[in-house]
Structure 1
Amino acid sequence: MRILWLLLPLLPSVYPSFTNNTEDLLWGAYRPNLYFGLRPRLPQSLMTGLVWFGTQNYQSIAKARHACDQGDGLDSYTWTHFDPRQGGVQILQDSQNNVRITTELLKVPGGSHGGGWAARIKGVPIDPMRPSRISTVFYLGLEGIGGVDMVTDESENGIDGPVEFAGSTPDLGDFTLRILEAPGNEAVTTGPLSEDFEERLGKTHVVGLRLPPGQLWTAKGTFPLSENIVARASPIAEKYRSAEQAPDPSFILQLSDDILTASNLFAVQKSFEGEFQFDVFFESASANQTFDGLVQTSTIDQGIAAIVTSFDSHFDETFPIPSSHAADDVTSLKSFSKAITSNLFGGIGYFYGTSIVDKGFAYEWDQDDEIDDENDGDSGARLTEPRALLTATPSRSFFPRGFYWDEGFHLLHIGAWDTELSLEILKDWIKLIDGNGWVAREQILGEEARSRVPEQFQTQVPTFANPPTLTMAVTAIINQFNAAHDGPSAADLGMDYGMGGQMPLAGTLKSTAALDRTAVQSVLREMYKPLKRHYEWFRRTQRGQIKQYGRRARSRTEGYRWRGRSEAHVLTSGMDDYPRGPPHAGELHLDLISWMAFFSRTMKDFAQFIDEEDDAASFAEIELAIINNIDDLHWNEENEMYCDVGIDSDDESTHICHLGYVSLFPFMLSLLPPDSPHLGPILDMLRDPEQLWSEYGIRSLSKSHSEFGQGENYWKGPIWVQINYMVLGALHNTYAREEGPFQEKAKEIYEELRRNVVNNEYQRTGYVWEQYDALTGEGRRSHPFTGWTSLVTLSKHLLSTPRKSSDFQLL
């Protein structure tokens, strides 16, 4: 037995950075929209998935679990440990079917095709005093060039023993996949009319089907797997309609055991009563290894135990809990933090397919002939060429796709754990930037992704932007490298480590210190030109008007507005229904000009790092001009707050002041110096419980605002973790650290806010939510939401006393 081979990837490892070490990232749980689905990071390739349903009645097949759906009513589903390079453990709690299913994944390196993997699916009754009858269907499908066949002999009454498949594709080479049932499983074999079904009871049932290209993702739906089971069961059930007793559903809710010629979708069904377990092994032939003798329970158990040990060790090193936490809090806080970190990683998906783009669409207040000419004047929604993207996702149940404004926050957390993985995701996003510099704010790639998006939101427009958060990941990588090396400090390099400059990430990678600056520069330089093109696109397409309305500002060019807003929403800002003024070509948006200052600072630091000194000087000039204009254009002395700028009924420029997240942006991005006279009023309104302060975090809109909690109430009061994270970052890294008249107040607010945010999260049970109620702190909207809400893991590690820059754990 080659036990060592299986355990090699599970031994504690040094996480690499900026190396060509992505083979162990080829395979993964890259179908996060499913409860458990595996695929490689390849277009049109092998995909697998798990379906299960109860057999306590005939209606249960209509409630089969496959794609994550809040309507399924699962108590919870969470990765307790998950590392994208190694695998992990997920627990699915399904009280409706009285089963707790655990899925375990081990990744096995070797060969030239990304290695192999082993998966274990096991279940136990939640309530041992109640029946637990579960039917599982594990399927594999292949699209594109290549083929797969079932090696095991077919049987019309089911199969005893393992089921094996063999296949081949250009990217994966030759491979085998085997499904083996553990000893001790029990099936439903007794009951009314059991003698009529004796030949099929307790056996594995299969089906092989041919699906059109691009349709494998429909496997569980009305067609084909559920339909196959129902089509076989319906005439049998009809036969017994007049009988005194009906057969047990387990007897007839079975796949048909038909294998069509040239099938590209195979499904393997096993039905159980009580506890169960089965294993799935995928082996790449190029690994020149064999699974013979490696299917023992002890081997898999040892492998999973090694993953857990490795994960725990790396977690403690990367995200240590400060001594300021009470001892009795540490265990529960650590468990919670591991779970939301694991679920962020388990939410990483690989997507491939076309997008829908309308180059000619514009609202009347967005009409701009120059910009329209840039987009060739095309009108009407059209499909693009297929693109590929590795990305984290905000919510497996509700937003299982890539979001531009979410991803920058995701990458801060991912990069703290594994810089190279963060870089791989970032590179895929950078590749999406088109020739004009645009990248869609939602990446809805392919029919599977579009099936989860309302039709009115599927079309993307090349003049619509989103907050440029990807740049946070760029500077975080640079700062992480600088923090790992001796030599000039961040201050010596002229880098501002406020929120706008991004502090070094937690968990500086050991291998980073072994790399020289040239190696890192080489990798980042490939991203510089497209990111610079993206920056120029922002400045060109989102520029606002200053001179036209007699506005006084030190720069006559640096004003910005979000294009693509409607009467009631500014989706492009990321804060959809936050109050704004009436739509007008002359309006200016505070949050966008703040993001552009932040973007300019990032590009300055980026240019300095790759020795583009002329560019760095230019970005520095733009940054200063933008920061000056934030004060000149957006500060309202009467209200003592920063405001949007709009046009009134007399066609005059006026401030549009709505106290909430938008008014905080110059502060949150650390654009204000610590001695700014504007900082005091901002901290006062931040800490005012009648305005933004709550026991659970900072509210998105003032409690005293006339629109607080009104309408759809998305950004009109609810608490959002990523914005609180930005507030904490500004307080901790800048205003509580640097000398100034408000330093002590910033420290006090930071300490209290950090406790409020962390406590509200980890003391709750079940799911992590998209947002939290502004008055009660209760979870609201989509769940689980382990995208940017997982930033609580970073927030809880912020230290009570500011220290030197290389010690900071945030940004």
Structure 2
Amino acid sequence: MRLVALASLLLAVAVSALGNSQQGFNSELSFDEYTEQSLLWAPYRPNCYFGIRPRNVDQSPFMLGIMWFDNSDASGLSRIRHFVEQGDKLQKYGWEVYDPRVGGREVIIDEANNLNLTIYFTKSHNGENWAVRVHGEPLDPERGSAASVVVYFNQNGQDGQSRLKKIVGDDSGKMLFHGVSKELGEYQLTVRDNFGSYYSDPGLPTMEIVPGCDSSKTAHLSMTVPDENVWMARDVFLSILSDSVKQIVEEKGAEAVNPSLFPSTFTIRNLYDFPAGNFHYLQKSFDNSSPEGFEFDIIYNALDTKERITSIGDVANLISGTINHVETKFAELFALEPKGEQYHSFALETLSNLLGGIGYFHGTQLVDRVTIFDDEQFEEVKLQHATEEGPLSLFTSVPSRAFFPRGFYWDEGFHLLQIMEYDFDLAFVICSSWFDLIEADSGWIAREVILGDEARSKVPEEFRVQNPNIANPPTLLLAFSEMLDRAIKNQESSALEFPGPVDDEITAQKQTSQLENNPDLLLKYAERIYPKLLKHYNWFKTSQKGLIEEYEEILEDEGILEKVHQEEAYTWRGRTINHCLPSGMDDYPRPQPPDVAELNVDALAWVGIMTRSMRRIAHVLSLKDDEAEYQKIENNIIENLDLLHWSEEHRCYCDITIDSLGDGRAFVCHEGYISLLPFALKLVPLDSPKLKHILSLMSDPEGIFSEYGLLSLSRRDEYFGTAENYWRGPVWLNINYLCLDALTYYFPAVVSGAAEGLSPEESQAKQLFVSLKESLVNNVFKNWEERGYCYESYDQYTGKGKGIEHFTGWTALVVNIMGNK
């Protein structure tokens, strides 16, 4: 069920929160109406450096993308930019200021193409219309390059009603298009130059090397591209252009290699006399020797709207308002430590790039429902019986636009913990989109949601197929229960009343936290989704259930069989000898060799937090019997963590298996994140004597404490830094964030100013909290300052960012760590 389907449920509780007068949304809009208007348009194609599509428009969406290259160089085509690729080795790319509800500013520094590109996206006050401003400047005006920017757009829809045609075009670069979408209605698209000179050589009588190839003019090609292939715009462009260049060389000979005519040679034309269609290329080749650069606007106006964007001034004013809105709102919501302009820029840019990774995906997914895992086979997981299912839709943020531009189940919960601090309602909309994917019969959600060919094109083939037996840590319920907690606290405080007309920014915050401040809306959704969540909960427990019966004689010999809750023991299905991808911590050391009797402490802990989340949901829905049942299960899990997985010898939580002789329980202890997870998820009782051992584990400079954050694996472990070294030492922000949060839960004094009168454990916890927070912030900031990006993880020896760069998924939690009000 899409969020829009909630309208009938929520009519009676339409919110009277004031609208954001700066952005112009109607102050009387209900939650659904405001959501649909403010989140309809955005750059929802995060795999592209810049790509637009509408949200919740699936049959006839308008699609747009931007590409660029230097066409003054014969090798320029090898440097064409379209999809975000680490191999492009750009000096910088990403959003400096961004909010999907209003827009922002993206900056791209491309040294190989000698281009400093700034792309602005902004919307009309009602959210129906939008504008893109493309501003480019040469990095070095003396290089004599050309900046060839290619804009492509398509009106999808094979219904016979959807169309997009050029109606006006002139030599000034202005073009006007008329479009019709079955879902969006009629609209007008205007592309207009603001300033800049097209590439030409004054020493030549003409730049037109053959008809249609003239770099001194905007080139336009209209054709038909099947909807499912629009994402291949770069490949289609290169194919047509390569054929054109080949023909020019054959026809013109030496003249074709005149460097002054290269930009014309590398200009697209209608080589094959394609009839006009709904797909359009516009290619603008600017002379990149002027320090002032160039600029042009792309403006979309729905024809039935009252508020149109018509002039250069309109676009400029909207951009100014957009940037001011985001910067002011951010400053109001986050009280950053340390302070300073650079830290502020770092935090705002990091959050903006998390928000800039939000995408809307629609299409089929590949599912293998045939393969059943052999509990005796751990060599390799092969999913060879894939079928296409769907189509489905998903509104989600992504871990990294360059490498992971798709939905990841366990990442998304961490993303939402950050997003809800800036825009509570946006986090809810994303969370509900994920819950819509819960299968009605089985309760399954795929661990990676890869919808359609565009998304699949960025995924190695071996990871494209999903299987209903493979799970991932259920962080989405962690985030959703946090949302409910916050909303209910507001309700119980009885202190919330909407004021009269006040400051624009306070108003803006109310408009994006309607659910937090009006729990009735959130509770109605929770009531509607509860049956699905229950199925999901039961699917998780059933699919990952461990074989505790293998331990019956052993536990009886140990005298604890009667104490152990045999129904609460879990293992990760789908692990192999070297990897446990379902756990999220792929290469973290596990029992060797794998065995059918293996029980994983983190699997049990995640079921514990899932149960706690379900208990909280049942509580707010007044489902007393369900709440009591969840409380019982939660208590049993907490007891089992100690009974089954706590090793007195190692003084930490461990996986277990049956020893090689088959007559005893073997603790497989690898001090690190797995050992900490029961603490990080707040499943250790507040009065537990084990807390002091966990504190010691986290504080040990010879173990997992480092000047860069908590290491994923202890330095003393035999696997530390070995093989792939993915989760075997490097610092990861998501688990560090959970540990910091848990420290404030178990030891509230860590965030108080008092330093006297603390117990030894409180003093140790306070020292750990302060030093850990400082280490994490300083190191992530240092990498950003020196290299321009956040990273997937950070090296255990040097603190240098490693893995995927521009990883502003859960690494963006550093902004929460720096402080929110």
Instruction: Provide the TM-score with structure 2 as the length reference.
Output: 0.87
CA–CA distance in structure 2, aligned partners of residues 539 and 468 of structure 1: 11
2:660 partner SS: coil
> In the alignment, does 2:463 pair up with 1:453?
no
Aligned with 1:569 (options 579, 592, 596): 579
Aligned with 2:651 (options 628, 635, 640): 640
2:412 partner SS: helix
CA–CA distance in structure 2, aligned partners of residues 514 and 690 of structure 1: 43
What are the equivalent positions in structure 2 for 1:325-474 lying under 5 Å apart?
A: 325=338, 329-365=339-375, 380-434=385-439, 435-474=441-480
Aligned to 2:320: 305
Query: Do the aligned partners of 2:52 and 2:64 also contact (CA within 8 Å) in 1?
Result: yes
Distance 1:186 1:385, change over 3 A: closer
> In the alignment, does 2:479 pair up with 1:477?
no
1:538 partner SS: helix
Q: 1:510: how far off?
A: 7.9
Query: Do the aligned partners of 1:761 and 1:768 also contact (CA within 8 Å) in 2?
Result: yes
CA–CA distance in structure 1, aligned partners of residues 220 and 693 of structure 2: 68
CA–CA distance in structure 1, aligned partners of residues 207 and 614 of structure 2: 74
1:177 partner SS: strand
CA–CA distance in structure 2, aligned partners of residues 549 and 511 of structure 1: 49
Aligned with 1:277 (options 279, 285, 295): 295
> In the alignment, does 2:614 pair up with 1:603?
yes
Aligned to 2:279: 265
Query: Do the aligned partners of 1:9 and 1:107 also contact (CA within 8 Å) in 2?
Result: no
Query: Do the aligned partners of 1:9 and 1:108 also contact (CA within 8 Å) in 2?
Result: no
Q: Which amino acid aligns with 1:140?
A: F
> In the alignment, does 2:639 pair up with 1:628?
yes
Aligned to 2:79: 63
Query: Do the aligned partners of 2:209 and 2:261 also contact (CA within 8 Å) in 1?
Result: no
Aligned to 2:527: 525
Aligned to 1:549: 551
1:188 partner SS: coil
Instruction: Provide the TM-score with structure 1 as the length reference.
Output: 0.88
Q: 1:603: how far off?
A: 0.8
- Structure 1 unaligned segments of length 5 or more: list them: 1-6, 368-377, 490-506, 799-808
Q: Spell out, residue by residue over 1:140-191, the C-alpha distance to the aligned partner (whole angstroms, 9 max, x if none).
A: 013223432333357xxx8543112111122101111111011343433346
Query: Do the aligned partners of 1:148 and 1:165 also contact (CA within 8 Å) in 2?
Result: no
Distance 1:227 1:610, change over 3 A: same
Query: Do the aligned partners of 1:176 and 1:283 also contact (CA within 8 Å) in 2?
Result: yes
Query: Do the aligned partners of 2:118 and 2:135 also contact (CA within 8 Å) in 1?
Result: yes
Aligned to 2:789: 767
Q: Spell out, residue by residue over 1:529-581, the C-alpha distance to the aligned partner (whole angstroms, 9 max, x if none).
A: 11111111111111112233223343121111111111111100000011001
CA–CA distance in structure 2, aligned partners of residues 414 and 40 of structure 1: 20
Distance 1:201 1:440, change over 3 A: closer
> In the alignment, does 2:108 pair up with 1:92?
yes
Aligned with 1:142 (options 127, 140, 155): 155
> In the alignment, does 2:234 pair up with 1:220?
yes
Q: 1:251: how far off?
A: 1.9
Q: 1:590: how far off?
A: 0.6
Q: 1:485: how far off?
A: 3.9
> In the alignment, does 2:740 pair up with 1:728?
yes
Q: Spell out, residue by residue over 1:170-223, the C-alpha distance to the aligned partner (whole angstroms, 9 max, x if none).
A: 2101111111011343433346685664983421101112223411100012xx
What are the equivalent positions in structure 2 for 1:666-685 lying under 5 Å apart?
A: 666-685=678-697
Q: 1:266: how far off?
A: 0.6
CA–CA distance in structure 2, aligned partners of residues 55 and 436 of structure 1: 53
CA–CA distance in structure 1, aligned partners of residues 743 and 246 of structure 2: 64
Q: Spell out, residue by residue over 1:736-758, the C-alpha distance to the aligned partner (whole angstroms, 9 max, x if none).
A: 44997622211110010000000
227-236 or 393-402, which moves further after superposition? 227-236
CA–CA distance in structure 2, aligned partners of residues 569 and 736 of structure 1: 37
Aligned to 1:374: none
Aligned to 1:503: none
CA-based RMSD = 2.6
Aligned to 1:536: 538
CA–CA distance in structure 2, aligned partners of residues 656 and 16 of structure 1: 56
Aligned to 2:11: none
CA–CA distance in structure 1, aligned partners of residues 510 and 626 of structure 2: 28
Query: Do the aligned partners of 1:355 and 1:383 also contact (CA within 8 Å) in 2?
Result: yes
CA–CA distance in structure 2, aligned partners of residues 319 and 47 of structure 1: 35
Number of aligned positions between the proteins:
751
> In the alignment, does 2:783 pair up with 1:783?
no
**Identity rate, percent:** 36
Aligned to 1:504: none
CA–CA distance in structure 2, aligned partners of residues 597 and 621 of structure 1: 11
Query: Do the aligned partners of 1:54 and 1:61 also contact (CA within 8 Å) in 2?
Result: yes
Q: Spell out, residue by residue over 1:476-530, the C-alpha distance to the aligned partner (whole angstroms, 9 max, x if none).
A: 21122134345389xxxxxxxxxxxxxxxxx887854895543331122222211
CA–CA distance in structure 1, aligned partners of residues 746 and 32 of structure 2: 33
1:91 partner SS: strand
Aligned with 1:125 (options 128, 133, 138): 138
510-519 or 178-187, which moves further after superposition? 510-519
Aligned to 1:586: 597
CA–CA distance in structure 1, aligned partners of residues 136 and 489 of structure 2: 45
CA–CA distance in structure 2, aligned partners of residues 677 and 152 of structure 1: 76
Aligned to 1:745: 764
620-629 or 579-588, which moves further after superposition? 579-588
CA–CA distance in structure 1, aligned partners of residues 83 and 689 of structure 2: 52
Q: Which amino acid aligns with 2:281?
A: A
CA–CA distance in structure 1, aligned partners of residues 203 and 739 of structure 2: 62
CA–CA distance in structure 2, aligned partners of residues 358 and 29 of structure 1: 32
Q: Which amino acid aligns with 1:539?
A: K
Aligned with 2:40 (options 26, 42, 45): 26
> In the alignment, does 2:95 pair up with 1:79?
yes
Aligned to 1:806: none
Aligned with 1:104 (options 117, 120, 132): 120
Query: Do the aligned partners of 1:396 and 1:784 also contact (CA within 8 Å) in 2?
Result: yes
> In the alignment, does 2:336 pair up with 1:321?
yes
Query: Do the aligned partners of 1:365 and 1:583 also contact (CA within 8 Å) in 2?
Result: no
Query: Do the aligned partners of 1:12 and 1:310 also contact (CA within 8 Å) in 2?
Result: no
> In the alignment, does 2:718 pair up with 1:706?
yes
Q: 1:635: how far off?
A: 0.5
2:427 partner SS: helix
Q: Spell out, residue by residue over 1:429-471, the C-alpha distance to the aligned partner (whole angstroms, 9 max, x if none).
A: 1011112111000001111111111111111110111000001
Distance 1:15 1:251, change over 3 A: farther
Distance 1:352 1:599, change over 3 A: same
Q: 1:248: how far off?
A: 3.0
Distance 1:237 1:262, change over 3 A: closer
CA–CA distance in structure 1, aligned partners of residues 376 and 493 of structure 2: 49
Query: Do the aligned partners of 1:736 and 1:746 also contact (CA within 8 Å) in 2?
Result: no
Q: Spell out, residue by residue over 1:627-668, the C-alpha distance to the aligned partner (whole angstroms, 9 max, x if none).
A: 000000000111111100112222243111111110111111
Query: Do the aligned partners of 2:201 and 2:260 also contact (CA within 8 Å) in 1?
Result: no
Q: Spell out, residue by residue over 1:738-793, the C-alpha distance to the aligned partner (whole angstroms, 9 max, x if none).
A: 99762221111001000000010112231111111011000111111011110000
1:333 partner SS: helix
Query: Do the aligned partners of 1:587 and 1:645 also contact (CA within 8 Å) in 2?
Result: yes
Distance 1:118 1:654, change over 3 A: same
Distance 1:151 1:196, change over 3 A: closer
